[in-house]
Structure 1
Amino acid sequence: MQINIIRIIFIFSSLFVGIIGLLLNYMESYLPCVITRTYRYGKFSVDKYQPLVAKVEVPKRWFKHFYIFAAPASSYVLYLVICKYLWNDNISKNVIWILDICLGSFRQALVSPESTFIATVLLTLHCWKRFYETHFVNIFSDKMMNISHYIIGHYHYVGTLICIIGESKGFVEGSEGNFSWKKITYLQLICAIIFVLSSCVQFRTNLILNKLRRNKDGKINSTTYKIPHGGLFKYISGALQLTEIIIYITLSIILWQSSTYHYVTTWVLINQTSTAVLTHRWYIETFKNYPTSRKILLPYIF
């Protein structure tokens, strides 16, 4: 197959989210409820009932399903990477066949084994951290989300994992994957450190949100939304979104040789920025005492 399916879907998703996001910001009052209720979810969901959309909605707490899938899946991909680069095993032809279908049989071995190894280790750690957060830290409300969000959430991780190894040396027919610890660069290590720090800040941010729904004894006493304080929330409304963007940008730098992975980062950038804008607007419209000094995504700037 000569079509890069993964790239096409990420491009389409980025354009769709970007266009709808802009329309919601500037022309929401003119949009039909079927669009606004489909796009919005969680705290900024639409209360107006739309029978067709309501039939294809699932609980927002199903976000945790993403990581029930992504954590083991990323672990399996890490296992393949370790087998190939550290144990010099051959990659199954079935894996090569799947990668050819998803990225096209014309794909090339562009990414170094070192970049692939670091990126896979980092993403696997991130997925297991998110698994822990969604199961033991996040306290979900009874809000709903459109099933399209549920589907794209799973696709995101399938596509991301395929993009990481799909253009890596050793995972393309006829290429060799000669891994060397000495070839790991300072830039890759710096990006890995920033990735881990950003992931830690994201974890702290979720702890802040967790405490908003617990009493002094640590018991859950509410699922309503409140104004968060502390950490990045001192400066911006989209604390979770900023950390997610940084995580994927650092992976993009590590995987700079790739021709497809950067479409994942573009999708994350557009999606998370749109979410941050809607979150900021919702806070301002909902709470009259919301701090006016807070920006949307970038402290003191935007």
Structure 2
Amino acid sequence: MRTADNGGIPGSPRASQWGGEAARTSPAAPRCPAPPPFPHSKSPAPRGGGGAQTRLAPGAWAAAGGAGSVRARAQGGSRAMPAALSALWLLLAAAFLAALLLELLQAPRGGPRPGLFQDLLRYGKTKSGCGQRPAWLRLLDVPKRWFSHFYILSVVWNGLLLLLLIQALFLARPFPIWLRDLLSALGGASQNQDVGDKHLSALLVLMLLWLHSFRRLIECLCISVFSSGFLHIVQYCFGLGYYIVIGLTVLCQVPANVSNGKVVNLSHSIPFGDWFERVSCPHYFAELLIYVSMAITFGFQNLTWWLVVMYVLFNQALAAVLCHEFYVNNFSCYPTCRKAFIPFLF
């Protein structure tokens, strides 16, 4: 059985949806020399190979000291730059954590009330949990089937970044000026300047991200059957922006240097089997594991990517809570032993 996409809050890539949406029968979809100096990094100045000692004129010591000071200030400034990128992911993680906590606190008090906040959190079938929505909010709806746009953008954009990275690593071709300027503005991975083995790690992570997006695009176009659900236009724009920033975040870690089936029905049902016996949304849990594996690939000391993982954790937890709430409210026989997101825990 294949079912329609339930997706996460737009902006977090989705693992395939196995239950809860319109279903179609189909087979399981397939899952998902030393490198040259990095093009937007500065190679270290060559050291002298020995020979006669060089004496500086009296005023040259000040000049040399001044140059060293400028270099130190420049390096200090570049170390501060990644703070912006890390702050972005920290802010997103904190925002989704706050939304998750508010949702959990609201549940015992009779459920959510219609409004902009709930409209920005919910999408698809979970929007029905807010009752009648104001007409002005419905004007900002876009079809949920536009989820495929996220993966089209990701395949094209992150595919381009992957191609440019491969050319930089193996053909010694520098990044285009616009990309070098953009990476420099984002910080250019100065947190890893002294680590020389991040080039291939970034290549592997970017390749996995591209394959993940390509798999999701195939699922959206060939497997999923979307119901008449909606996204808020802000969610849609956020999702597009996410796939642009996530690829750039990968590059910033580099040292600055299915056959068709028949639609069975368009109604929701209780999913069963495998991890669904333990949690309502195992696909969201699998999504978290994907990003944890990427973080491990970069190394446990990479703060920025672990902030990405934190964002995905709270993002998917919120989506899982809303989905679990939908199942519990709409199916009186829904298994009480199932957790929402993480088996046996949450």
- Give TM class, smaller chain: 0.7 to 0.9
Matched, 1:141 2:227: yes
Partner of 1:190: none
Q: 2:297 aligns with which of 254, 264, 274?
A: 254
Cα offset, 1:284, TM superposition:
1.1
- Change over 3 Å in CA distance of 1:142–1:6 after alignment to 2: farther
1:53-101 Cα offsets, whole Å, 9 max, x none, are 2221211111110011001212111111211122222222221101122
- Change over 3 Å in CA distance of 1:10–1:57 after alignment to 2: farther
Partner of 2:210: 124
Secondary structure, counterpart of 1:260 in structure 2: helix
**Greater shift in the superposed pair: 138-147 or 290-299:** 290-299
Q: Percent identity?
A: 26
Partner of 1:22: 101
Partner of 1:61: 145
Matched, 1:242 2:321: no
Secondary structure, counterpart of 2:202 in structure 1: helix
Secondary structure, counterpart of 2:136 in structure 1: helix
Secondary structure, counterpart of 1:49 in structure 2: coil
Q: 2:269 aligns with which of 215, 226, 230?
A: 226
Alignment-mate amino acid for residue 89 of structure 1: R
The answer (yes or no) to whether the contact 1:119–1:251 under 8 Å persists in 2 is: yes
Partner of 2:243: 157
* Residue pairs, 1:82-121, within 5 angstroms: 82-103=166-187, 109=193, 112-121=198-207
The answer (yes or no) to whether the contact 2:155–2:214 under 8 Å persists in 1 is: yes
Partner of 1:40: 122
Q: 1:7 aligns with which of 86, 94, 115?
A: 86
- Change over 3 Å in CA distance of 1:97–1:297 after alignment to 2: same
Q: TM-score, normalised to structure 2's length?
A: 0.68
Structure in which a larger fraction of residues adopt helix? 1
The answer (yes or no) to whether the contact 1:84–1:91 under 8 Å persists in 2 is: yes
- Change over 3 Å in CA distance of 1:53–1:104 after alignment to 2: farther
Work out the CA distance in 1 between the residues paired with 2:323 and 2:123. 10
Work out the CA distance in 2 between the residues paired with 1:42 and 1:32. 15
How many residues align? The count is 259
Work out the CA distance in 1 between the residues paired with 2:123 and 2:334. 21
Matched, 1:270 2:317: no
The answer (yes or no) to whether the contact 1:4–1:104 under 8 Å persists in 2 is: no
1:232-263 Cα offsets, whole Å, 9 max, x none, are 21221011101100001111111235342222
- Change over 3 Å in CA distance of 1:153–1:83 after alignment to 2: same
Work out the CA distance in 2 between the residues paired with 1:68 and 1:37. 25
Matched, 1:297 2:341: yes
Q: Which has the larger radius of gyration?
A: 2
The answer (yes or no) to whether the contact 2:198–2:253 under 8 Å persists in 1 is: no
1:16-46 Cα offsets, whole Å, 9 max, x none, are 2221221122125475522212211122113
Secondary structure, counterpart of 2:142 in structure 1: strand
Work out the CA distance in 2 between the residues paired with 1:239 and 1:266. 18
The answer (yes or no) to whether the contact 1:33–1:48 under 8 Å persists in 2 is: no
Q: Using CA pairs below 8 Å that are at least 6 residues apart, which structure has the higher relative contact order? A: 2
Work out the CA distance in 2 between the residues paired with 1:30 and 1:296. 18
The answer (yes or no) to whether the contact 2:202–2:253 under 8 Å persists in 1 is: no
Secondary structure, counterpart of 1:275 in structure 2: helix
Q: TM-score, normalised to structure 1's length?
A: 0.77
Alignment-mate amino acid for residue 26 of structure 1: L
- Change over 3 Å in CA distance of 1:105–1:85 after alignment to 2: closer
Work out the CA distance in 2 between the residues paired with 1:59 and 1:17. 23
Alignment-mate amino acid for residue 264 of structure 1: V
Alignment-mate amino acid for residue 34 of structure 1: L
Alignment-mate amino acid for residue 125 of structure 2: K
Cα offset, 1:160, TM superposition:
1.1
